[in-house]
Structure 1
Amino acid sequence: MTSETIAHANQDGVARITLNRPDRLNSFTAQMHEELASALDAADDDPAVRAIWLTGAGRGFCAGQDLNDRAVAPGSEPMDLGETVEKYWAPLVERLARRDKPVVCAVNGVAAGAGANVALACDIVFAARSAKFIQSFANIGLIPDTGGTWVLPRVIGQARAIGLALTAEPLSAKKAEEWGMIWKCVDDESLESESLALAKRLAAGPTRGLAATKHALRGAFQQDLSSELAHECDLMRELGFSDDYREGVSAFMEKRKPEFSGR
């Protein structure tokens, strides 16, 4: 399916979703937010979809907010940016981070502002060697929204997070990999094949267990050790009764490839 701003196709158990405003570096408008939300919800509702792959069309992944969609000038009527974040950006981060199906992101070029933090909201991030991540908010007097203030200090530490946020300097894909901000930096020509291969692998995996794993790891920041140990116990009890666990053990014992159902 293709809308005006989002291209969406399902293949091999993977929902392939592409931000599709290449003439504007895939920057977001209200319409694009709504169409991406619809594509993600459709992927959630489709039992044939077991993983999601997100990328951008053209030479960039996403330049964040399309400032033409909320243009302001000195002396003009101020705009409530908190309303925009509350209505669109925050729900988008929640949609990406909290869904059960694994989300693989392929950053094919510049990821700037909220566009960088949309990528970081995904579960596994690949980036082309030529890609760059830019926390560009400081250039227009704003903070790193779209989860930036939450995720950056957790994945790269406070010193690096503050440095990126205050200077708005571009961070190369290779450096992002070295800092632990993304999963892998790959050659430009390998980005689609490598990231899609992993998305297909996850789609064929024990998706119920994968969902529990990602949610446990994401939620562990808010738990003390005793609480997280108890949570692990509950999850292991639940997953131990699953069809996928029995299939995984049987396949291992029989030296064959497992066929997981997600049940």
Structure 2
Amino acid sequence: MTARTKIVAGNWKMNKTVAEAVSLVEELTKELAGFSGCEVILCPPFTALTSVAKLLHSSPRIQLGAQNLHPALQGAFTGEISAAMLREAGCRFVIVGHSERRRYFGETDAFLREKLLAAVAAGLRPIFCVGEELPDRESGRWPAHLRSQIQGVLHGLPVDVLSAIVLAYEPIWAIGTGRNARPEQAQEAHALLRKEIERLHGTAVAARMCIQYGGSVTPQNARELLSQPDVDGLLVGGASLNARSFTSILLSVQ
């Protein structure tokens, strides 16, 4: 079995002013001094990226990520941000295809594919999100839905792009609801995703790909989720907004 580095990312969404972000990161860097259990990524809002980047210079185990990008290099795209701008701000990762972007902003598979290509071309590692709604889960259509998302975006991508991608399974019915997938449900979905990657791109690519779980992750369920053989990390929402809860989740990796 290929050893995969665990990756835990905190997605702050539209939370934290610059001052609040700085305070949280200062607390986290103290709590995590000497921590080496996994790769840690913080994804604050755009306004806080440069301030957080400065603080993370002294904490090399924590890396900076962004929550979104536009695939164009530049242009008349009011309110958007490019991959080059994110790199300049200090980012090394970027979230692509989060269910909230798909739902509220109508992002399609074709557009997400463009984003992945733009991110990797600029030297960013995308955290690419997939996941099903509750009706798909309850009706048993969720495997077909996940395969469709993988095929629609990742089919035919070159190996260098695939090697940079972190995949994140986020059952939409579990995001912010307090209702997380049971560990065996997460494992079943992750195994299916890895099998689909293998079908499309071969065993070596599938074996190397990190697949995170995201959806109401808490200090109470993190350890059991991470004990599953195909769960290679976590994409944490609300629990990443508090230093104590996020640190507890990170320590569960060890």
Please say whether Structure 1 and Structure 2 have the same fold, judged by a TM-score greater than 0.5.
no
TM-score under structure 1 length normalisation: 0.29
Rg larger for: 1
